[in-house]
Structures are given as structure tokens and as C-alpha cells.
Amino acid sequence: MLGRIISIVGESDVVALARSRRVVSEPQSESDAFRFEIEFLNVLRGTIDGAASHILMVRLVGRDTPLLSPDSVYLVFLESLEPSQPASREWGLVEMSAPILVHGEQRATYISNMNEYVALEAEKSDTQRLKDHLLRMLNSRIGFFERDAGLEARDIEDWSPDEIDQLIAIARRDDERGPLTGLAREKVTIVIIRNGNRQQVLPYVREELLAGNTSDAFWGFTTIEPAGADSIVLEFLADADVRVRTEAIRLAGLLRRGSILDAVEEQTKIGPDDDETKARLLRAIDEARALVDRD
């Protein structure tokens, strides 16, 4: 799904969990659509009438056409269409949305979370309520909600130190769910670096470097003042762990800090490291210079 949940909810006539019953017809041309008969299970926004059948029209969009499997349950964001047959009610997908497959054990969570989104859509100006909601969604165990919450969180400029601590705890979580991953982690990392204080940012970014998430950290550093970013990079370049120093060199390259690389190269050549470590760091510097000169 390409759009944000809150925006798509606001554009929807109906938000619901629906079961796909069968394929009614397949497209006969590029301007035609798949027609699926659906059964509404939980209507979370809007109302439906007592039509004999409900038909979901899904337009062709190449390989990305979101097809529905029979007897599977989906979260759908719908706009009402003019029916082509008197006994049926026809629906289309809201632009930038797609049917989201809902597994049986997740159904209650989807209903609860989407009820929150529907309520929030009516009060989008309440930033504190939105932030509280996003923290819950980031910890929801469901990638669909975590990714959306990460994107929304990035666009909020004001996060308190306590909220940053909560974001760090979510990103680091070590329970059965494992740490936050993918796009959600990337966006949360941006917020932590942009809005956190030095005591919060330094240990978090060090863990990111050790985990090889240097690219995520890079995007965070692009949101703060260059002098602040450089001071943190320089601190990691003096770290006792060569893995941190190696990733900090890569980070300097991503940030196009050629002068920092020059200084590190000179220090590495005359420094106390053993020959193997020096060779490793000098290779990293060569690779980082390529990043500085990238198009």
C-alpha cells in the first residue's frame, strides 16, 4: 500500500474486513477490472446496505494488481461505485490503497488498531494523541502497522526525551518479536537521531553501527546540523572497537566528509594499531572515498 493509513481512511466511504468469496469475472481488456464477490465481516467506517451481493472492482496495474484469494480475509479501503447490476453493490479500492491480507490470529488486532485509526482521522490535529497511537502501532507486532507508524513518526517534529526513550526501547526490543526492522526501523532511527539528546543518540547509533545499520544512521545524520553530525562521527572514529571505527568510516563517506577521511587516514598510518587492523581500516577508507565521490 502506497498511501498513509490515516489519509486513506479519510478518503474511504467504507473501511472493513471482508472475505473474498469468488472471482465473478476477469478483465477482457486493459481498461477492464477483476470483479470479486466479497462478504463484509467487520465494517469499521461507513455503512453498507442490504444488497444481495457486494462486488469489489480491482483495476489492472500490471504485476502489482492486488488479486484476492478465495475465502481469505482482507482489510479494504473502499469507495462506492455505480452498480452495473441492480441487485449488487459495487466498490472500488481507494487510490493508493491495496487489500491487506489478514491472518486469522491477527483479526482482533487489526480491528482494534483500525478502530483507533478511524477515531484519529477525525482528530488529526491532536498531535499528542497521534504520537501515543504511533508508539502503540510501532509495537504492534504487525509489519503493516509498524511501517505506517514509522513513516508518520518521521513527519512529526516534536518528540520529548521520554518518547525518544520509548522509541529506542521499541527499536531494541529483545522479546520473541525481535527488534524493529526494515522501513519502520529506518524511520524510527531518523527520529531518534534528529530529536534525541547526545546521551540517547550515542549509544543507540553505536549499536546501529555494530549491527551494520549504517545506512539507516546516515539518513538520521542528514537531518541534523553538520557540526553535530561530525562530532558524533569523530567520537566513533576513536572507539576501541575496530568494527565501530570501520562503520564510522563508511558513515563519513556516506556523509561526503572527505576531510574527515583524510585525517583518519593519516592517523591510521601512524597509529598504534597492528598491521592487520591498519590494513582493514585503510581498505574501509578507500571504499568510503568512493562514496564521497558518488553521483
pLDDT tens profile 171-180: 998 877 778 8
Residue 205 pLDDT exceeds 80: yes
Residue 208 pLDDT exceeds 70: yes
Mean pLDDT, rounded, of the chain: 91
Which CATH number describes the domain made up of 5-105? 2.40.50.120
Classify the C-alpha dihedral 165-170-171-176 as positive or negative: positive
Half-sphere exposure of 49 (CA within 13 A, CB side): 11
* Residue ranges matching CATH 2.40.50.120 in the chain: 5-105
Over residues 52-73, mean pLDDT: 79
Residue 1: pLDDT band with limits 50, 70, 90: low
- Please tell me the distance from the alpha carbon of residue 147 to that of residue 168, in angstroms, as a whole number: 16
Which CATH number describes the domain made up of 110-292? 1.25.10
More confident site: 40 or 29: 40
* Residue ranges matching CATH 1.25.10 in the chain: 110-292
Q: What is the pTM of this model?
A: 0.89
